[in-house]
A and B are shown apart, each in its own frame.
Chain A
Amino acid sequence: MASNIQDKYVTFNLGKEYYGLPIENVLSIEKPSKRTRIPNAPDYVIGLINLRGEVIPVIDLRTKLGMEKNDVDKNSRIIIVKENEIVVGLMVDSSKEVLDINKEDIDKPPSSENNPIIEFISGIGKKDERLIMILNLMKLLDLRS
């Protein structure tokens, strides 16, 4: 099986669930560092970090997806992603491996209104009995949502 860059996903955990991001969008994975609060920002924007001289906003993915907030611990990671010129960090519970998921193994998400998580998911990937929810970054970073 030829591995294609388009089929590679960076996976991570929020609680017990697995999530995935297309690897092309991921710039790096960082350990949490000191954050500066941004007054008057939405609650899911938890601050600015200094990433090697660049100022980058960090989104708490749990809050953004309507989940309960979790304390930052030694497993917490910030995944730096880039989509359409926007660079942000996503705070996640822990980062996992990079997986190859074939297009055929990705199902459409169930249609559901009023579910904040489903709205941001572009597909559900299956790999070794695990279900990986693949996030739609474009939607996730849309300022209007």
Chain B
Amino acid sequence: MSQYMNLFIEESNEHLQTMNDVLLELEKNTDNISLINELFRVAHTLKGMSGTMGYTNMADLTHEMENVLDGVRNNRIKINENITDVLFECFDALDEIINYIAANGKEMDKANDDLIEKLRNLVNVEEKSVQEESNGKTQKIQLDNYVVNVINEARNKGLNAFNILVTLSHNCMLKSARAFVIINTLDSLGDIVYSNPSAEDIEDERFDFEFSVILVTDVDKNSLLEKLYDISEVEKVEINLVENQEVQVLEKEKAGSENVIVEEHKNIDSIDSKDMKSDTKDKVKKVNKVAKTVRVDIDRLDNLMNLASELIIIKNRMDDLSGTSNKEDMLQAIEYLERITTNLHNAVMKVRMVPIERVFNRFPRMVRDLSKELNKRVNLQMYGESTEVDRTVIDEIGDPLIHIIRNSLDHGIEYPQDRIKLGKPETGNIVLKAYPDGNNVVIEVTDDGCGIDFEKVKKKSIERGLITEQEAEKISEEELANILFEPGFSTSDTITEISGRGVGLDVVKNKIESINGTIELESQRNKGTKFTIRIPLTLAIIQALLIKLKDETYAIPLSSITEIISVNKDSIRSIQKQEIMLYRGKTIPIVRLDKLMGLETDELLEEYIAVVVRKGDKLAALLVNSLIGQQEIVIKPLGKYLSYIKYFSGATILGNGDISLILDVNSFV
């Protein structure tokens, strides 16, 4: 079972994402029948999947959703805001169920009775109100009495009548022969009671690439599909049950009704389409373990394959060369090897990259809910969703972005009436933009709201004693913007559900710095605010300073180093056993790394080398024995077994094959 679990979670999340997108679209555009069809397909697939896995609550819920959606599709129920809201609730419930399954490996006991009740009510109430105005404008296929009788008779015997639409592939050479094979196959499974075009026309190849038949059979739909897809040159098969009320007329519109399985077949076929776009799924679980997965474009894997085979070629060449002493050839081979390893490195990095879409796609829903709650009108625009970042970054960047967008909505965008007074369009804009810039990815969040009132920030900072009045006179807006990132700072006068409690920007800043990123803020009064976040493309490779303690080598991430200074022993003071020193007018703690690492401290020296490191706005001076230099290092995890060991964030392998531990600066400051 657990082997299917990953797949189930992954696919469910994918379908839920589709559901979310479609629901948002549907809200704007309630008349679009294809959106309803899409929703129906998703609900149906989820029902099937959860049923197979034995998650009955989920299957029940999706089943009721299906009923409502089916009603909407058949004009029995009129779509309105109430319905979309309930559907959104269902989406949330499904999301919760999936997350619970992912975390616990089983479904939660709580059934969603109230939601199911709501859905049932929708079906009952709405059906009545719409019944009168319903009018089928859909295209119909007239069936003659004979066929109708046969179908009715068959149904009485407990047989199924299917309307089967077969599409042949466009490079099919002998259409009639192919059609003959299909019809023969169907004939062996049941009775064909009707065909369009007629049997003779099919035989004489007087049809395009598709034809439909009605088959009376005791075989079920899935096995029919299976049989038909076994035949080559069949591009697509749609099978619909001919239902009771439709026996008189077959509505062609119905084609969408039960073709879920067909859709899936199509997806598998079109490997190069969006399905294979590198795309990862949320935390997938294997019995209480969260595994991270990455979906990879097949081209990228091919590229890796090629590079690996080139490595083998060069290895063989090196083998040959080892016998000779021609230095020229050897150097050439090494150069070649270098090129391959660089390419290999790039290729592997690319495999780890996923589009930032993964993070972005939850925002439309969030903005929708928040703006409803706040009675504001906001339009969210997103650009550069396909910008790629490392898989590990994806997990970290979500929360800070949520914070910023909430801030923009709550404090930035004004109420519609205020906006009109200011001569701005009633609907506010929040623009989310991502683009690569060298070795970084830049994410910008811009709103056209009220901007930051720097005078107010100034006043608050004086009140809080962060700056003096004299300092306030000449402080620049840039410096004031930095104060906004201080812990506990909020300019909002009122505390709301969404933000304003002062936990915010400092958390955002910390989180972004923890992945070696930076955040900046620009704001203009009444024009709006812009946050610019820069994050490194990958976390697996960082710049580090290598240092020595006795004969052991350690690495300190360069991003957390402020400065390297030499410290005279006289400037080190001791307060309650904690050594401190004065650094740029601030007292900062001193950490004797050698002692901390269990090495004997050298006898007292006159001068020490100190690496000043920073976490947020806190500093500490790490005393080291000597410096080796700056190097790009590959971070290797220490593994689960050593997870409780303090002071290290990982290890790296140096050029000579030795291992050096990476110091976790956060644990010293």
Contact = CB atoms under 8 A, between A and B. Distances in A.
Nearest to A49: B659
A71 interface: no
Interface string A50-69: 10011111000000000000
Contacts of B658: 34, 36, 50
Contacts of B637: 55
B636 A57 contact: no
10 contacts: A34-B657, A34-B658, A39-B647, A39-B661, A48-B651, A48-B661, A55-B637, A55-B651, A57-B638, A143-B644
A46 B379 CA distance: 59
A55 B639 contact: yes
B227 interface: no
B641 A57 contact: yes
Contacts of B274: none
Interface string B633-669: 0001111111111111001010001111100000000
Size range of the chain B interface in the assembly: 20 to 34
Contacts of B642: 38, 41, 45, 57
Contacts of B657: 34, 50
B266 to A, nearest CB: 37
A68 B540 CA distance: 40
A39 B596 contact: yes
Interface of B: 289, 552, 596-599, 636-648, 651, 653, 657-661
B658 to A, nearest CB: 7
Contacts of B641: 57, 86-88, 141, 143
Size range of the chain A interface in the assembly: 20 to 34
A54 B640 CA distance: 13
A41 B647 CA distance: 11
A40 interface: yes
Interface of A: 34, 36-41, 45, 48-50, 53-57, 85-88, 141, 143
A30 B172 CA distance: 59
A39 B638 CA distance: 13
B480 to A, nearest CB: 43
B660 A57 contact: no
B597 A39 contact: yes
Contact of A50 (B639, B647, B653): B653
B639 A40 contact: no
A143 B644 CA distance: 9
A10 B658 CA distance: 29
Question: For A49, A56, A88, which residue has the most chain B Cβ atoms within 10 angstroms?
Answer: A56
Question: For A34, A38, A87, which residue has the most chain B Cβ atoms within 10 angstroms?
Answer: A38
B653 A86 contact: no
Nearest to B593: A39
Contacts of A143: 641, 643-644
A40 B659 contact: no
Contacts of A56: 639
B622 to A, nearest CB: 14
Given A39-B647, A40-B646, A41-B642, A55 B597 contact: no
B636 A55 contact: yes
A37 B553 CA distance: 10
B630 to A, nearest CB: 21
B647 A55 contact: no
Contacts of A34: 657-658
Contacts of B552: 36-37
Contacts of B599: 39
A36 B640 contact: no
Given A38-B645, A40-B598, A40-B646, A86 B640 contact: yes
A45 B640 CA distance: 14
B659 A50 contact: yes
Given A40-B597, A55-B639, A48 B659 contact: yes
B646 A38 contact: no
A85 B289 contact: yes
B638 A55 contact: yes
Given A34-B658, A48-B659, A55-B651, A40 B645 contact: yes
Nearest to B644: A143
B661 A36 contact: yes
Given A37-B552, A40-B597, A85-B289, A55 B659 contact: yes
Given A50-B657, A55-B639, A55-B653, A40 B644 contact: no
A86 B639 contact: yes
Contacts of B643: 143
B639 A87 contact: yes
Question: For A40, A48, A54, which residue has the most chain B Cβ atoms within 10 angstroms?
Answer: A48
Question: For A45, A57, A87, A88, which residue has the most chain B Cβ atoms within 10 angstroms?
Answer: A57
Nearest to A37: B552
Nearest to B650: A55
Nearest to B549: A39
Question: For B596, B636, B639, B657, which residue has the most chain A Cβ atoms within 10 angstroms?
Answer: B639
B244 to A, nearest CB: 55
Given A39-B598, A55-B651, 14 more contacts: A37-B552, A39-B599, A48-B659, A49-B659, A53-B653, A55-B637, A55-B639, A55-B653, A57-B639, A85-B289, A85-B640, A86-B640, A87-B641, A88-B641
Nearest to B652: A55
A59 to B, nearest CB: 8
Contacts of B596: 39
B649 to A, nearest CB: 12
B308 to A, nearest CB: 14
Contacts of A86: 639-641
Closest 7 interchain pairs by CB? A39-B597, A36-B659, A55-B636, A55-B651, A39-B598, A86-B641, A48-B659
A133 B648 CA distance: 35
A50 B653 CA distance: 7
Nearest to B660: A36
Nearest to A39: B597
B344 to A, nearest CB: 12
Contacts of B651: 36, 48, 55
A72 B320 CA distance: 37
B639 to A, nearest CB: 6
A54 B653 CA distance: 9
Nearest to A87: B639
A69 to B, nearest CB: 18
Contacts of B639: 55-57, 86-88
Contacts of A36: 552, 651, 658-661
Nearest to A48: B659
